[in-house]
Amino acid sequence: MNTVHLSPDLRTASGELPEGDVPEIATRNACKLCSPLGAALVFKGIRGCLPFLHGSQGCATYIRRYLISHFREPVDIASSSFTEDDAIFGGARNFAAGVDNVIRQYQPELIGVATTCLSETIGDHMLGMIKTYQDKHAGDGPPLVHVSTPAYTGTHSDGYYATLLAVVRQFAQRTSLRLPHRVNVLPAIMSCEDLRHLRECCEAYGLSATMLPDYNSTLEGGSWDAYHWIPPGGTSLDEIGEMGAACATLEIGHTQAANSQSAAAWLQQTTGVQRLALGWPLGICLADHFFTALSIASGRTMPRRFAEERARLVDAYVDAHKYVAGKTAAVFGEPDLVVAVASFLSEIGIKPVICATGSKQKQWKELIREALASDIGEFTALSGADHAKIATAARELKPDLLIGSSKGYPLARELDIPLVRLGFPIHDRIGSQRLLTVGYRGTLELFDRVVNALLEVKQSTSTSGYSYL
């Protein structure tokens, strides 16, 4: 085997292939990030909101660093900067001082407080601290919202959805009023371009969408002429307040559909907003569901442009089907993304032989199987997986293609197969914010990337090197 391209997880300290029992207990190269990152992402999508992590500062700095390398935008996240004393005696003092300083410097419209493992473990009583703080300020200053995000109980994906619920629960007004043509959109962890396209689709149906979060411009804004404390954009608290009066909530992500504690479920139970639980609208089947939901919410039929996009997509499927026929892929990342990609692949004749996520997802295999558009036979579904496990499976099953984040690169290099970058983080390519994967248009973009990656392999491994395929 070519040792130069061996993945680091497949070498001993002296560069040889390891032997013996494969480690099972330790996590080797995790396929997940920690829950406060998901919380920060939601907070970044609320107008004027500054994320605040209650705990030691390292967590905030690491999360900032990671988000910055993916989005290539400023990401300011404050922390209460615990010291040893705070870890022992509780962080109330630092919390209050930290919030004061954040208000002084940033003048935020909202402070989004997420806990870290540390503050969760010492049992800091966040709601009490927030109340004390608010009493002291007698209603002055921005509101605070709190979400509990200990990383030892979930991943960034879990943190993200927990934060959606926390925000909605705190700010959405309980009302029986219905605003006509108003829908809520609760996206999964998606690219900025995805968020923009979701909104565009709603608008094309005459719907006005309150999207939570909407970080499309806070995490992919223009070049500035003056410094912005907090980047412009995001959903305002007023809009969030009205979420209880929308006609329907379009809730994206298969994992949420089964979640009776989701933000959309809460809205339905509390204020009667119809919950339309959808998968990530990638691939014709899932995109069809999405557009159907828009029809239900708006009472309108599909606008012509989408019908045309769909037609072009079908046409592209047909044009390229032989290039992809019989190919296999390994897909990894956030659970909702993986399910959608698997479904999409099953539409075009690529078999997703490995579907892996770092989240501990109940009924993972069933979830995927139900979303498939065709019977693909047996496949390996890994939940709670790390990259070492994914690599082990891939070495055995030898997929033609990897689909997932930059973290799959060492494996792609080792197996000498293409990696189609998708998900989070992508920090070895430019443009992760702009990867479109929703709707017919997004499907087509991904489809082209997938097919072309395979064509490139075909071409570069051919002896003749024809420029015509």
Partner 1 sequence: MPTVDQSPASIQVLTDREDQVWTKGSGKQFACDRKSTAGSVTQRACAFCGSRVVLYPIADALHIVHGPIGCAVYNWDIRGAQSSGPQLHRNSFSTDLAEKEVVFGGEKKLQASLLELIRYYRPKAAFVYSTCIVGLIGDDVEAVCKTVSRETGIDVIPVDSPGFKGTKKTGYEAACKAAYRLVGTGDTSGISRYSINLLGEFNIAGEAWLIRRYFEQIGIQVVSTITGDGRVDDLRRCHGASLNLVQCSGSMTHLAQLLERDHQIPSHRVSFFGFEDTARALYAAAEFFGDPEIMRKAQELVRSEIATYAPQLKAYKQRLKGKKAALYVGGAFKAFSLVLALRSLGMQTVLAGTQTGNAEDYEQLKAICDPGTVIVDDSNPLELAKFVLEKDVDLFIGGVKERPIAYKLGVAFCDHNHERKIPLAGFEGMLHFAREVAESALSPVWQFAPRRAMRHHQLSTNGGEA
What is the residue whose two structure tokens read 């702009």?
434
User: Which residues inside 205-264 make contact with ligand SF4, applying CB under 6 A?
Assistant: none
For residue 324, the Cα-to-chain-centroid distance in whole angstroms is 27
* Nearest distance in Å: CB 369, partner 1: 27
* Nearest distance in Å: CB 455, ligand SF4: 40
Task: Tell me the C-alpha to C-alpha distance, in Å, between residue 314 and each of 130, 183, 284.
Answer: 53, 29, 8
Question: Which range, of 10-18, 184-192, 281-289, 440-448, touches partner 1 by CB under 8 A?
Answer: 10-18
For residue 338, give the H/E element and its range. helix 335-348
Contact partner at residue 138 from ligand SF4, partner 1, none, CB < 5 to 8 Å by partner kind? none
Q: 345 is written with which tokens? A: 């692949």
Ordered DSSP codes for 305-360: HHHHHHHHHHHHHHHHHHHHTT-EEEEESSHHHHHHHHHHHHHHT-EEEEEE-SS-
Which of 40, 46, 59, 324 is the binder for partner 1 (CB under 8 A)?
A: 59
* Nearest distance in Å: CB 406, ligand SF4: 19
Residue closer to ligand SF4, measured from CB, 86 or 336: 86
Distance separating alpha carbons of residues 453 and 418, to the nearest angstrom: 6
Distance separating alpha carbons of residues 307 and 288, to the nearest angstrom: 10
Look at residue 401 and give its three-state secondary structure: strand
* Nearest distance in Å: CB 56, ligand SF4: 3
* Nearest distance in Å: CB 457, partner 1: 25
Contact partner at residue 12 from partner 1, ligand SF4, none, CB < 5 to 8 Å by partner kind? partner 1
Which of 40, 144, 147, 151 is the binder for partner 1 (CB under 8 A)?
A: 151
* Nearest distance in Å: CB 116, ligand SF4: 4
Each residue 202-221 as x (binds partner 1 by CB under 8 A) or -, in order, gives -------------------x
* Nearest distance in Å: CB 159, partner 1: 10
Residue closer to ligand SF4, measured from CB, 117 or 329: 117
For residue 271, the Cα-to-chain-centroid distance in whole angstroms is 26
User: Which residues inside 331-370 make contact with partner 1, applying CB under 8 A?
Assistant: none
Which of 72, 289, 413, 449 is the binder for partner 1 (CB under 8 A)?
A: 72
Residue closer to partner 1, measured from CB, 202 or 388: 388
Q: 312 is written with which tokens? A: 């072009």
Which of 56, 210, 256, 268 is the binder for partner 1 (CB under 8 A)?
A: 56
Q: If binding means CB under 6 A, how many residues of this protein chain bind ligand SF4?
A: 10
Contact call for residues 406 and 421 (beta carbons, < 8 A)? yes
Q: Is-cis flag, bond preceding 150, omega within 30?
A: no
Q: Is-cis flag, bond preceding 425, omega within 30?
A: yes
Supply the DSSP symbol for 34. B
Contact call for residues 353 and 380 (beta carbons, < 8 A)? yes
* Nearest distance in Å: CB 260, partner 1: 21
Distance separating alpha carbons of residues 371 and 350, to the nearest angstrom: 15
> Judged by CB under 8 A, does residue 79 bind partner 1?
yes
What is the residue whose two structure tokens read 């828009």?
294
Question: Which range, of 209-217, 227-235, 273-281, 452-460, touches partner 1 by CB under 8 A?
Answer: 227-235
Contact call for residues 7 and 413 (beta carbons, < 8 A)? yes
Distance separating alpha carbons of residues 28 and 9, to the nearest angstrom: 8
For residue 369, give the H/E element and its range. helix 364-371
Distance separating alpha carbons of residues 440 and 283, to the nearest angstrom: 7
Contact call for residues 387 and 31 (beta carbons, < 8 A)? yes
Each residue 27-66 as x (binds ligand SF4 by CB under 6 A) or -, in order, gives -------x-x-------------------x-xx--x----
Distance separating alpha carbons of residues 434 and 192, to the nearest angstrom: 6
Each residue 389-408 as x (binds partner 1 by CB under 8 A) or -, in order, gives ------------------x-
* Nearest distance in Å: CB 375, ligand SF4: 39
User: Which residues inside 250-279 make contact with partner 1, applying CB under 8 A?
Assistant: none
Each residue 84-123 as x (binds ligand SF4 by CB under 6 A) or -, in order, gives --------------------------------xxx-----
- Measured at CB, which residue is nearest to ligand SF4? 58
Q: If binding means CB under 8 A, how many residues of this protein chain bind partner 1?
A: 91
* Nearest distance in Å: CB 187, ligand SF4: 23
Query: What residue type is assigned to position 281 of the chain?
Result: P
Contact partner at residue 431 from ligand SF4, partner 1, none, CB < 5 to 8 Å by partner kind? none
Strands 401-404 and 328-332: parallel
User: Which residues inside 110-129 make contact with partner 1, applying CB under 8 A?
Assistant: 116-118, 121-122
Ordered DSSP codes for 55-99: S-HHHHHHHHHHHHHHH-S----EE----HHHHHH-SHHHHHHHH
Question: Footprint of ligand SF4 on this chain (CB under 6 A)?
Answer: 34, 36, 56, 58-59, 62, 116-118, 151
